[in-house]
Amino acid sequence: MTRSLARILAGVLAAYLTVPLGLFVLRALTTPERGFHVPGLVPALLISVSCATASLALVVLTGVPLAYLLARSSGFFARLIETLVTLPLALPPVMGGIVMVYLVGPYSSLGRLFHGQLTESVYGIVIAMTFTSAPFLVLSARAAFSVVDPVYLDVASTLGHSRLSRFVRVTLPLASPGIRAGMTMTWLRAFGEYGAVTILAYNPASLPVYTENQFMAGGLNPTLAPTLLSLALAGVVVVLARVKLPGRQPRQGLAVRPHLAPSAPPSFEISHDVGTFHLEVHHHGTSDTLAVLGPSGSGKSVLLRCLTGLYGNRVGRVSFGRDDVSARPPEHRSVGYVAQGFSLFPHLTVWRNVTFAVTASPDTARYWLDQLGVGDLDHRRPGELSGGQRQRVALAQALASSPDVLILDEPFSALDAPVRRELQRELRRLQRDTGLALIVVTHDPDEATMLARHLIILDQGRALQSGVTAEVLRAPSSVRVAHLLQRPNVLEVRVVSGGLEGTSGGVLRTSTYVAPLGSHVLLEVLPEQWRLHRPQSAPLDVESLTGEGVVEDAIDLGVFWMIEVRVDDEWTLRVNYEGDEQWRPGDPCILSARTDDLRLWQPSNES
């Protein structure tokens, strides 16, 4: 749809809705007899206002919890309840009143119990208003609750907040725009209800009933006053619904360096199912920093949720140092958790975010904000910050509670490379200065190397290799681990007479026995150590390792060419080429490397 067409269609609807109101106001201003003197106007107005307000209070008290439960449920029973709650919207109001007669009429069980006082009274007006208006709040609040990101509740729980506190301080504020809209529609619908009120409680007269009586008795002129009052009151309600009350100004801190607990090496034995996915990881920590590296879907985030307690206490054993936290809920595990992406509460300022933890003090919050370079952003909201600023504030939020362990779920993946590297250096410095235990999950080997002294390689829910980071990098246990570590030229080979043979038949020739015949080894030749030749100029050096291949791709990186050479279906090797020849995809070539440059080690089944 073009912008001009959208403007035309929007203008048509706006005119349709506003022109009649304008004509009515014009008539009311130019007519001397508008009905303000007619007896009964003020009592009818007060009855409608008070009954609509009472109806709204009942709907809020019962409808908000119902909406929350419907938003958190997905079964058949929940969908059935939602359908039944919606049905009053489909009934004409008069029919809604007829339906309610069977519940509260004078001959129903409830009617007899209350001696017929539930009809032809203000109680009947409230009952009728509630039946016809309640769906507006329930459906609007349900939609608002359903879009509240659960990650905010997870973060709040790790910051020490109980289930009730999370509902009051996180869920309700985030859903409040939808709830306020539903409350506004509910009050307005109740205030203007006529059909159901007529059936259940014609007397005393509400404002719509009063207006209908005036119209039948005297035509349009006596109806001008109640209609003007209704429009004015509706406008006031709509305006008030959009007013946000100013929050209490929190106390500012004095930047006092917090006392952090000694290093607490994490250990865990996790076994947990999420649907059909099974996670099985054991780790006995000796280092205060741990990185978990793996591809998307490998179970990294599931593992962190197990460690923080977000999956409950039946996932296995978790301890931080000598402190076994397996049975504790997340609010009692003393972890600082930075969820994947940006986990700041959007309805709070920076200062309120950082002081949100139950155990956070203003002095500690001020210290971390200043240390992370965002101390001048107190009154901004997350939407007003850059990506790097939001991540720094998220770190300050996690640290302000002085946790025993800092847990980060791919904290910098959404940032540009320069900002990501800067924050990695800051986090490394922070950990080194404080000695705080750190667990970070990532898919970036450089990030894992920079931040952690111990490394777990995770894939499909199990650990392929774990150990000291430098040792894992030095000797990946398999080609798969090497691939996850972004090591392009690690091959699994068998030593045969005259060379090295891959599992699919590819051969690299050499006359030097680099390992015993028949042994299986992992081989690595760095990209800058390979040489590339035309077939007619292949090297004759007996100390060389050679292989035939075809150029698959050649990329000019300015300083050198990055060339990918396919040796066979299993092997594609990367070569950093600094020569003058022009290589194009499809060119046959010969690869060679000095046998002294080979790195060989035994594959391992460590997990």
What is the CATH number for 334?
3.40.50.300
CB 407 within 8 A of CB 292: no
- Domain membership flag for residue 6: no
Kindly state whether residue 200 falls inside one of the protein's structural domains: yes
Please say if the pLDDT value at position 607 is more than 50: no
Q: Within this chain, do residues 270 and 221 fall inside the same structural domain, yes or no? A: no
Q: In 3-state terms, the chain is what percent helix, strand and coil (to 5)?
A: 45, 20, 35
Confidence of residue 249 (pLDDT cuts 50, 70, 90): low
User: How far is CA 351 from each of CA 97, 186, 355, 381, 396, rounded to the nearest angstrom?
Assistant: 51, 35, 6, 9, 10
Do 428 and 509 fall within a single domain? Answer: no
282-339 confidence digits (pLDDT tens):
998 788 899 999 998 999 999 999 999 999 989 999 998 888 999 999 999 989 999 8
Q: What is the pLDDT of residue 261?
A: 62
What confidence tens digit (pLDDT) does each residue in 107-137 have?
A: 888 888 888 888 889 999 999 999 999 999 9
Rounded to two decimals, the pTM is 0.81
Length of the chain, in residues: 607
Q: Look up residue 237 and give its two tokens.
A: 């309600």
Question: Of the residues 416, 448, 474, which one is the last residue of a structural domain?
Answer: 474
**Same structural domain, 340 and 237:** no
The predicted-structure confidence for 158-215, as pLDDT tens digits, reads as follows: 999 999 999 999 999 999 999 999 999 999 999 999 999 999 988 888 889 888 888 8
Buried b (16+ CB within 10 A) or exposed e, 540-561: eeeebbbbbbebeebeeeeeeb
16: exposed, middle or buried (Cβ count in 10 Å: 0-12, 13-18, 19+): exposed
β-strands 454-459, 462-468 pairing? antiparallel
Q: Are residues 467 and 520 in the same domain?
A: no
Residue 426 lies in a domain: yes
Mean per-residue pLDDT over the chain, rounded: 89
In a domain, 9, yes or no: no
- pLDDT higher than 60, residue 606: no
Write out pLDDT tens, residues 433-471: 888 889 999 988 999 999 999 999 999 999 999 999 999
Give me the DSSP letters along 302-365. Answer: HHHHHHHTTT-S-SEEEEETTEE-TTS-GGGS-EEEE-SS----TTS-HHHHHT-STT--HHHH
Q: Which pair of tokens denotes residue 392?
A: 């720094």
Q: What is the residue range of 88's domain?
A: 14-149+156-241
Helices (H), 147-279: 150-158, 163-166, 172-191, 195-200, 207-218, 224-241
pLDDT tens digit string along 82-110? Answer: 999 999 988 888 998 899 999 988 888 88
Question: Can you tell me the distance from the alpha carbon of 97 to that of 129, in angstroms, rounded to the nearest whole number?
Answer: 9
Q: Is residue 246 part of a domain?
A: no
Please check whether residues 222 and 303 belong to one and the same domain. Answer: no
Residue 263 pLDDT class (50, 70, 90 cuts): low
Domain tally for the chain?
3
Does 476 score more than 70 pLDDT? yes
Q: What is the CATH number of the domain that holds 529?
A: 2.40.50.140
Specify whether 28 is located in the same domain as 175.
yes
Residue 248 lies in a domain: no
CATH for 178: 1.10.3720.10
Confidence class for position 29, pLDDT limits 50, 70, 90: confident
- Based on the fold, state whether residues 519 and 582 are members of the same structural domain: yes
Q: The tokens of 414 are what?
A: 């959404």
In whole angstroms, give the CA distance from residue 73 to residue 311. 18
Residue 205, classed as helix, strand or coil, is coil
**pLDDT score, position 505:** 81
Whether residue 206 sits in one domain with residue 90 = yes
How high is the pLDDT of residue 246? 67
92 inside domain: yes
| pLDDT the model gives residue 178 | 94
Strands 544-556 and 277-284: unpaired
Of the residues 474, 500, 527, which one is the last residue of a structural domain?
474
Q: Could you tell me whether strands 437-442 and 405-409 are parallel, antiparallel, or unpaired per DSSP bridges?
A: parallel
CB neighbour class for 236 (10 Å; exposed up to 12, middle 13-18, buried from 19): exposed
Residues 75 and 212 in one domain: yes
Contacting residues for 474 by C-beta, under 8 A, at least 6 apart: none
Residue 481 falls within a domain, yes or no?
no
